[in-house]
Amino acid sequence: MDGRTDGRTTDGRTFPPLMLLGRLGGVDLKRRHKKFQPRVRVWKLKEEQTCEEYKSMVRDKVEQEKWKHLDVNEHWHKMKKIIMETAQHICGMSKGPCRHKETWCWNEEVPEAVREKKIKYRKRKRENSKEAWMEYKKCKQSAKRVISSAKEKKQKECASDLNDPEHQNEIFRMAKQMVRKDRI
């Protein structure tokens, strides 16, 4: 390059106009929330009674259908329709995302510390003074200490429960939640 830029290229020192507006090549960089997609509750098929009811209903519907003179694709689509409709009827659909997610390491002290920190933050934003900033900074540090001590306590508790079969499912639940939040 000869050092000139027409706004469409980047040489490390200049930025195209779209990047300055928070966009990269016409793609919005802001994270968008995905709309919830209801799903069939297929995990209910693990229950023996539900599974038997599902199998019998699928058998009945397959026997009632007329399968002659169908090509492979039509046969497949009919079978898929029977399986999906039966699963929806027997198992039901999920209603929405979980609204009560639990932070795995929080105890009674952590929400209070976080609430206090949020109050100080709002005060700092409202007043914009040095005293408000120092109060917020102290409160933020104490909240971090409370959270780290709660995490440490919960990790020790989980480590002691690893061999206990009663708490195994709880450990798996917390691990799944941590993976979802990219904490591991």
d(CA 110, CA 154): 12
**pLDDT tens profile 113-171:** 999 999 999 999 999 899 999 999 999 999 999 999 988 888 887 777 777 777 767 76
Residue 100 has pLDDT above 80, yes or no: no
Q: How confident is the model at residue 12 (pLDDT cuts 50, 70, 90)?
A: low
Q: How confident is the model at residue 23 (pLDDT cuts 50, 70, 90)?
A: very low
pLDDT of residue 1: 47
pLDDT of residue 140: 95
pLDDT of residue 133: 93
* Helix H or strand E segment including 144: helix 130-161
Domain ranges of the chain: 42-91, 109-180
Structure tokens at 105: 């390491």
Residue 184 has pLDDT above 50, yes or no: no
pTM: 0.41
The predicted model gives 15-44 an average pLDDT of 64
d(CA 156, CA 25): 47
